[in-house]
Amino acid sequence: MAFDRRKFLKVSGLSVLGLWAKSAADALAGEKPGFGITEKLLHLFRKPVGFASADALTAKKWAMVIKVRNCPTDCHACIDACDYVHNIPDAEKMPSPRHEIKWIWQDEYKHAFPDQQHEYVEERLKKLPFLLLCNHCDNPPCVRVCPTKATFKREDGIVMMDQHRCIGCRFCMAACPYGSRSFNWVDPRPYIEKQYPEYPIRVRGVVEKCTFCAERLAIGKIPACVEACQNEAKKHGREPALVFGDLEDPESEVRKLLRSHYAIRRKPELGTGPQIYYIV
């Protein structure tokens, strides 16, 4: 027989191995992040799509500096803005607090920096709100462990989420040393205060987190939290707390701030290289 079942199985098996071998080679060679062999194969036979907008905000390394002194204790404009533009369900409405979704949230100094906590911490610091979010690490453990590359690091430094691909294994949640990731334990739809029509909702069964508003950067807008902070600060005649920019641009505001202030990061000893800097 020219091409029988045996031969077919042999060929299929070798093809799968070949696919994996190439993927391994890609991974070792440091291919374009998030775009592996299967994506390339699929796009071989279809017309290439797309380009980035001319007015997209680009950078070599996006980072955020948080000037904690400028955060008033009762302000949560950034959290509200993020929750709104990303259709994040209202934690208080959800069946259980353990199901909450949070991309950016507030906590005390002793929880933000538990290793720096001691009895005689400055009183001011004890009361200051610390904003916590995904650190978009240089060396992210979550990206290392994701079995499907559903979370991957972009060339501009953003650790991105592909909700289409996530299988909900939650390995990334175990790997993240900062507790930045949330999982959709239930369908979030009924608990969303007001739907924001330009951004999708997530389905139950996938992980999500802050993406530095990649969808806004692509159309020339700064992250929602930063914009909300700037608006709120202007309204009350004070300095904004959240500063966003390109660390590899020596003239960016974030670089200037880091040059002139001492900044701390969360759990730097773990080697993750977090890109959220706190000026305390």
Partner 1 sequence: MLEKAFVGGRKYWIWMAFLLGVIGLGFIMYLWQWRYGLGLTGMGRDVSWGFYIAQFTYLVGVAASGVMVVLPCYIHNYKPFAKVTILGEFLAVAAVTMCLMFILVDLGRVDRLLNMILHPTPNSILFWDMVVLNVYLFLNIFIGWVALSAERKDVPPPHWIKPFIYISIPWAFSIHTVTAFLYAGLPGRHFWLTAIMAARFLASAFCSGPALLIVFCLIVRKVTKFDPGKDQIRTLGGIVAYAMILNVFFFLLELFTAFYSQIPGHMHSFIYLFRGLEGHARLVPWMWTFVVFAVAALVLLIVPATRRKLDTLLVGCVCVIIATWIDKGLGLVIGGFTPNPLGKVVEYWPTGPEFLISLGVWATGVLILTALYKIAISVREEAGIYKA
Partner 2 sequence: MYDGGKIITGLIIGIGLIAFPIWLNAGKAVKKADPKLPAKEKQCVEPTQYMLTNHMEVLDLWRDSVVRLGDRYFISFDGKKYRVSLQNTCMSAECHPKKKEFCDECHDYMGIEPYCWDCHIEKGEKK
* 199 lies in the site for partner 2, by CB under 8 A: yes
Which CB sits closer to partner 2, 67 or 86? 86
Site for partner 2 in 26-55 (CB under 8 A): 34-35, 39, 42-43, 46-47, 49-53
Binding mask 89-128 for partner 2 (x = CB under 8 A): ----------------------------------------
The 3-state secondary structure of 67-130, one letter per residue: EHHHCCCCCCHHHHHHHHHCCCCCHHHCCCHHHCCCCEEEECHHHHCHHHCCCCCCHHHHHCCE
The site partner of 121 among partner 2, partner 1, none (C-beta below 5 to 8 Å per kind) is none
**Taking a C-beta distance cutoff of 8 angstroms, is the pair 162, 151 a contact?**
yes
Q: Which range of residues in 1-9, 50-58, 141-149, 215-223 is near partner 1 by CB under 8 A?
A: 141-149
Supply the DSSP symbol for 61. S
**Taking a C-beta distance cutoff of 8 angstroms, is the pair 36, 23 a contact?**
yes
Token couple for 94: 């959800």
Residue partners of 164: CB distance under 8 A and separation at least 6: none
Among 6, 98, 118, 194, binds partner 2 (CB under 8 A): 194
Which CB sits closer to partner 1, 174 or 219? 174
- Measured distance CA(98)–CA(100) in Å, rounded: 6
Q: Which range of residues in 54-62, 76-84, 238-246, 267-275 is near partner 1 by CB under 8 A?
A: 267-275
The 3-state secondary structure of 1-29, one letter per residue: CCCCHHHHHHHHHHHHHHHHHHHHHHHHH
Distance between first and last Cα of the chain: 76
The site partner of 167 among partner 2, partner 1, none (C-beta below 5 to 8 Å per kind) is partner 1
Among 164, 235, 236, 259, binds partner 2 (CB under 8 A): 164
Shortest separation between residue 116's beta carbon and partner 1, angstroms:
11
Shortest separation between residue 159's beta carbon and partner 2, angstroms:
13
**DSSP assignment of 193-259, as one string?**
SS--TTSPPPPTT-EE---TTHHHHTTT---HHHHHHHHHHHHTTS--SEEEEETTSTTSHHHHHHH
* Residue ranges binding partner 2 (CB under 8 A): 34-35, 39, 42-43, 46-47, 49-53, 56, 87, 152, 154, 160, 162-164, 192, 194-195, 197-203, 214-215, 218-219
Site residues (CB under 8 A) for partner 1?
16, 19-20, 23-24, 27, 36, 38, 95-102, 107, 110-112, 114, 117, 132, 141, 144-150, 165-171, 173-179, 182-187, 203-207, 267, 270-272
